[in-house]
Amino acid sequence: MIISSSGIRGIAFRDLSPDVVAKFAMSYAEVMDPDSVVIGTDTRPSSDVLKEATISGLLSMGVKVYDLGISPTPMVFYAIRKLGVDGAIVITGSHNPIEWNALKFADSEGMFIRKEIMDQIVKTYYEGNFKSKVQHCLNKRLRSVHKVNIIDDYINYLIRAVGYFDKINANMRIVIDPAAGSAIKVTAIALKKIGCRTIVVNTDPTNPFRDYEPTSRSLMYLKDLVKGNDLGLAHDRDADRLVLISDDGKILDPDYTLALVIKAFLEDSLLGGIQSNKVVVNIATSQLIKDIVKDYGVEVIYSDIGERNVIDAMIKHNVEVGGEGSCGGVIIRRINPTRDGILAALIIVGYLARKGKKLSRVIQDMPRYVKFHEKIPIKNRKLLNEIMKQMNNSFNSREAIKLGGLKIILDNGNWILFRPSGTEPVLRIIGEARNESELVKLRKYAYDILKKTIEEVEPGATRVFSSYPIRER
């Protein structure tokens, strides 16, 4: 089981048994002390059983439960404010493989809980001190579960909040791949309401066409399908991410999703502009964002990877627009303070419709970068931490950004990021360069750094680690 800053994840029924899930739901209730909580799931085979375990844990603590059923994570977070409840638990493995699942915990403001709250939940889970259980059941309203459908409320809210669609009819033909996940209906309904015609593929949860993470490899089958249409959209399983496929069949790097949303806010007054002249992105986000905003006098502020880290930086600097370009995650804080792939889709479709241009034409005017994404399996967390510690000690603050990992920035602007994954037992390596030839050199340099560090920490171990890279793109 992996414990992150705002939830838990692991292999369903091995790491996440119903007993474990129920006890974590009880721990969440003990720490957060909610009167009511909303829950939603993705479409994984394990999600229904784990949902029942979650409900059991909450009911045992006297918590009223609103059950949204299969729901995108951003819609569940919207429901917190819409229904006036005190928090949420989402049962979703997001982009992880089908055998994985997770619990994501949210607070009463519709945002992921902070790390210090998660630490209290974990402490309560292991200590098992549910002191207030009896008092909860005696003092709070009767334990109950209420089925709720807020799809139309959520979609209508997003359409009104974006502000484009009382002026235009999008009238675009769009291919949607919801990863056989929780946005199977939602994204298509939203786009039809603004005048689009949609072709929805990969809709059978029992037979998904691809991996849940929308990468250039997993989306390869869409290239020819999107050609001849105006746009392709691909989500992960819980629809907090969005990857774009252009009208000429090109699968865009996830950074382009955030870049286009920021570009829309900069160029179109209907969206209200960039407040405070700042945007927040995580350290794995492309240099592309800096290139786009530099002529507008907008500052790019970096945060550690992780949605809550980005949100906290947005709050600290009073920023409305931000996200995690590295995964196609867009956050518009005043609309929905969480990564929202459906909201991102509406903004981009509205922007293209207003411009009257194809996506392929719009990106021609944007700088081009290329990336590699790789994962090195390292199941020994202590060893992984030692490797990162040694790397950090090898570079000073003038050469690197140290935010939850190590981002080495070269003189030519190319960069490498080494970071332990918060969701898998792996070391993630991301590199970005201006062209393919520079990227090949950058990848070799990254592996030279890694091999040298591993030899310093555990001599001889490079024979193992260098043999098992997992190419993501």
Q: Where does the pLDDT of residue 5 fall: very low under 50, low under 70, confident under 90, or very high at 90 and above?
A: confident
pLDDT at 411 over 50: yes
Tell me: pLDDT of 51 over 50.
Answer: yes
Q: Rounded distance, CA 246 to CA 230, Å?
A: 7
SS (H, E, C) 330-394: EEECCCECCCCHHHHHHHHHHHHHHHCCCHHHHHHCCCCCEEEEEEEECCCHHHHHHHHHHHHHH
Rounded to 10 deg, the angle between the 73-83 and 341-355 helix axes is: 100
User: Domains (ranges, CATH) in the chain?
Assistant: 2-149 (3.40.120.10), 154-364 (3.40.120.10), 370-471 (3.30.310.50)
* The pLDDT value given to residue 136: 52
Whether residue 457 is predicted with pLDDT greater than 70 in this model: the reply is yes
- Which pLDDT score, from 0 to 100, does residue 133 have? 52
**Inter-residue contact 329 to 240 (CB < 8 Å):** yes
Euclidean distance between CA atoms 117 and 232, whole angstroms:
38
Average pLDDT, the chain: 90
The sheet with strand 173-177 has its strands ordered as 197-200, 173-177, 231-234, 243-245
Say which residue the tokens 């119903």 belong to.
Answer: 18
| N residues, the chain | 473
Cβ–Cβ under 8 Å, residues 158 and 335: yes
Cα(244)–Cα(72) distance, integer angstroms: 18
Average pLDDT in the 133-151 region?
71
